[in-house]
């Protein structure tokens, strides 16, 4: 009872914060202006922050038509780890599936959850509305060819994901209460300190934690809220002018979960998200089946436009940049966030959890994002001049609508749930980063900021939200990948040792060991 009251008290704090801004928002709505007023000033504020961040992270390498520095950094990271670890993304794929199926689970190992549970927890953060809306944004900005580069980025990103989650598992800490603390904050600080670079490690860890705490407000919050509103208002037209109401309701639901401790909502979203993902994938296959004769040419379009310089404003480089950016945004490879969830897995082999983690970009980007891309290209809505103002979730919805008339409703529900579960997961990542900086006792301040941003994301236009989310998310890769580069030798050595032991039969799948106790003696 006392516990409930305690949680309720903090929930009310959060709600109070929102109520303070409500009257002013309502006022702005009364003035009925599209941009001026309170909502307009929020938007101008976000835009101002974006302009400064652009200068720091987005300067172009190689002249006017070159690559933004931060995207180049991600590409280098993904390519480097793929070659350094000798195509781990291909050679460990089958083993990854064996591990997820529980063949190597052991109750005696330290940790909180099984390999499968850790992967599912991490996926609820990665499979967000980006899988529906992000792909549409990529195609809108970079042409169909961007989808090819997204797939490529997903494929290469499997290797950087492997590296960061292995490190997350290796340098996690088991707290006195038995729960696990892990993620880039820990492996940067502890891992680099073990290599005699303690000051560098500590600095990178703090930079990462700052980027992650702020970044979680973009990629895992405002972007999700923004596109959830786009998907829902698309089918509920009277909501169009009431973005502030949607924002308040969404913030209240997220608040109930993260402040009010009403974990049921989180659990429900956790169950519904995989169901929605399956329904979504089936619908994609249905659209492909309906337009089967055109499928080869759609795939052809995606591949050819990936290399044709006239595809978009930025040429082939433009499509590549947009593809990599949207892919990293969707599967988080190189950002380091997923390592926080993966470090909870019960295992004494860090490499094993890294191998599980490489399935994440595969499922998220190479599978789900690709399905969305093929549907969008197949239906041709993106190229229809009358639909030129559609972007994000609305473009995806319009594409499905040409084949399944009621599908925008499914997109609205699926998008809302994807966004909700992703927001809850990212509030956890952000909170861990915050706790690393300021201690466990003050996380309610972070939660308050987070809820306020849910509201901001719902009322602001896509442009500034996307820019802010992109920059802050990609900026996380700066300290994270730098640390991973420095520790890549260690990862490679551990991987070789693991693979040798796996091949020699020293590490038998657990049930087999149990069946033949003689082997153990």
Task: Give the Cα separation of 187 and 72 in Å (integer).
Answer: 24
Identify which of 469, 282, 303 has the alpha carbon closest to the alpha carbon of residue 367: 282
Q: Return the structure tokens found at 357.
A: 């983690």
Query: CB–CB of 434/303 below 8 Å?
Result: no
Q: Which is nearer to other proteins, 263 or 384 (CB)?
A: 263
Q: Which stretch binds other proteins (CB under 8 A): 4-12, 27-35, 412-420, 472-480?
A: 4-12
Question: Of all helices (H) and strands (E), which one includes residue 173?
Answer: strand 173-174
Characterise 36 by phi-psi region: left (phi > 0), alpha (psi -120 to 50), beta (else). Answer: beta
Binders of other proteins among residues 307 to 336 (CB under 8 A) are none
Identify which range of 42-50, 197-205, 433-441, 476-484 contacts other proteins by CB under 8 A.
Answer: 433-441
- Choose which of 178, 237, 296, 505 interacts with other proteins (CB under 8 A): 178
45 in Cβ contact with 55 (< 8 Å): no
* Least distance in angstroms from the C-beta of 114 to other proteins: 8
The residue within the footprint of other proteins, chosen from 442, 497, 500, 512 (CB under 8 A), is 442
CA angle 262, 432, 19 (to 5 degrees): 50
Residues 212, 302: Cα–Cα separation, whole Å: 33
By CB under 8 A, tell whether 199 contacts other proteins.
Answer: no
| Residue 270 touching other proteins (CB under 8 A) | yes
Stretch that binds other proteins, among 5-13, 51-59, 126-134, 459-467 (CB under 8 A): 5-13
Instruction: Give residues with Cβ within 8 angstroms of 419, minimum separation 6.
Output: 128, 129, 224, 225, 227, 228
The pair of three-digit structure tokens given for residue 413, joined into one six-digit string: 């529900």
Surface-to-core class of residue 235, CB atoms within 10 Å of its CB (0-12 exposed, 13-18 middle, 19+ buried): middle
Nearest residue (CB) to other proteins, 7 versus 103: 7
Q: Residue 21, interface with other proteins (CB under 8 A)?
A: no
Q: Which of 41, 65, 179, 496 binds other proteins (CB under 8 A)?
A: 179
341 makes contact with other proteins (CB under 8 A): yes
| 358 near other proteins (CB under 8 A) | no
Name the helix (H) or strand (E) containing 217: none
Instruction: Kindly state the smallest distance separating residue 246's Cβ from other proteins, in Å.
Output: 22
Please state, in angstroms and rounded to a whole number, the distance separating the CA atoms of residues 18 and 40. Answer: 17
* Among the listed residues 8, 16, 79, 267, the single contact to other proteins using CB under 8 A: 267
Per CB under 8 A, the segment of 32-40, 136-144, 397-405, 441-449 that binds other proteins is 441-449
Q: How far is the CB of 257 from other proteins (least distance, A)?
A: 5
- Could you say which of 40, 66, 102, 261 contacts other proteins (CB under 8 A)? 261
Shortest Cβ 511–other proteins spacing (Å): 20
- Inter-residue contact 69 to 59 (CB < 8 Å): yes
Q: Pick from 424, 474, 484, 487: which binds other proteins (CB under 8 A)? A: 424
Q: Give the pair of three-digit tokens for residue 323.
A: 């593809």
Q: Is 515 near other proteins (CB under 8 A)? A: no
- Residue 16 C-beta: closest distance to other proteins, Å: 17
User: What tokens were used for 170?
Assistant: 């290796």
Helices (H) and strands (E) in the chain, counts: 26, 4
- Please list every residue from 87 through 146 that binds other proteins, using CB under 8 A: 112-113, 117-118, 120-121, 124-125
Burial class for 305, CB neighbours closer than 10 Å (0-12, 13-18, 19+):
buried
* 16 touches other proteins (CB under 8 A): no
Residue ranges in contact with other proteins by CB under 8 A: 3, 6-7, 10, 112-113, 117-118, 120-121, 124-125, 176-180, 257-258, 261, 263, 266-267, 270, 341, 344-345, 424-425, 427-428, 431-432, 435, 437-445
């Amino acid at each position: 009872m006392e516990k409930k009251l305690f949680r309720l008290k903090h929930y009310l704090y959060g709600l109070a914060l929102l109520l303070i801004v409500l009257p002013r928002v309502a006022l702005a709505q009364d003035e009925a202006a599209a941009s001026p007023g309170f909502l307009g000033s929020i938007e101008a504020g976000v835009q101002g922050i974006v302009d400064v961040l652009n200068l720091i992270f987005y300067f172009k390498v190689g002249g006017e038509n070159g690559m933004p520095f931060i995207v180049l950094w991600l590409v280098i990271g993904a390519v480097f780890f793929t070659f350094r670890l000798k195509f781990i993304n291909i050679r460990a794929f089958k083993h990854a599936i064996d591990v997820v199926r529980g063949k190597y689970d052991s109750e005696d190992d330290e940790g909180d959850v099984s390999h499968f549970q850790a992967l599912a927890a991490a996926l609820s953060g990665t499979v967000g509305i980006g899988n529906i809306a992000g792909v549409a944004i990529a195609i809108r900005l970079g042409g169909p060819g961007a989808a090819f580069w997204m797939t490529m980025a997903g494929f290469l990103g499997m290797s950087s994901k492997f590296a960061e989650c292995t490190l997350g598992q290796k340098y996690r800490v088991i707290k006195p209460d038995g729960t696990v603390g892990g993620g880039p904050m820990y492996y940067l600080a502890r891992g680099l300190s073990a290599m005699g670079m303690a000051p560098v490690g500590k600095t990178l860890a703090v930079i990462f934690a700052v980027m992650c705490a702020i970044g979680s407000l973009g990629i895992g919050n405002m972007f999700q809220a923004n596109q959830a509103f786009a998907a829902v208002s698309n089918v509920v037209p009277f909501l169009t002018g009431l973005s502030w109401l949607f924002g308040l309701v969404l913030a209240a639901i997220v608040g109930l979960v993260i402040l009010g401790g009403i974990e049921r909502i989180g659990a429900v979203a956790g169950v519904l998200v995989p169901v929605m993902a399956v329904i979504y994938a089936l619908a994609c296959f249905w659209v492909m089946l309906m337009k089967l004769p055109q499928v080869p040419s759609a795939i052809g379009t995606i591949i050819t436009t990936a290399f044709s310089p006239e595809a978009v404003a930025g040429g082939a480089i433009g499509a590549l940049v947009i593809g990599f950016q949207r892919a990293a945004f969707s599967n988080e490879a190189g950002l380091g966030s997923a390592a926080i969830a993966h470090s909870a897995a019960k295992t004494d082999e860090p490499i094993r959890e890294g191998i599980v983690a490489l399935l994440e970009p595969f499922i998220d980007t190479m599978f789900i994002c690709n399905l969305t891309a093929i549907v969008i290209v197949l239906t041709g809505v993106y190229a229809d001049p009358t639909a030129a103002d559609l972007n994000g979730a609305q473009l995806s919805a319009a594409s499905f609508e040409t084949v399944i008339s009621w599908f925008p409703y499914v997109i609205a529900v699926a998008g809302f749930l994807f966004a909700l579960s992703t927001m809850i997961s990212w509030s956890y990542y952000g909170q861990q980063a915050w706790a690393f900086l300021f201690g466990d006792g003050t996380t309610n301040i972070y939660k308050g900021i987070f809820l306020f941003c849910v509201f901001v994301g719902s009322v602001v236009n896509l442009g500034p939200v996307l820019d802010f989310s992109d920059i802050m998310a990609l900026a996380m890769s700066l300290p994270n990948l730098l640390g991973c580069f420095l520790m890549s030798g260690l990862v490679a050595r551990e991987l070789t040792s693991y693979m040798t032991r796996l091949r020699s039969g020293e590490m038998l799948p657990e049930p087999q060991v149990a069946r033949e106790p003689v082997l153990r003696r």
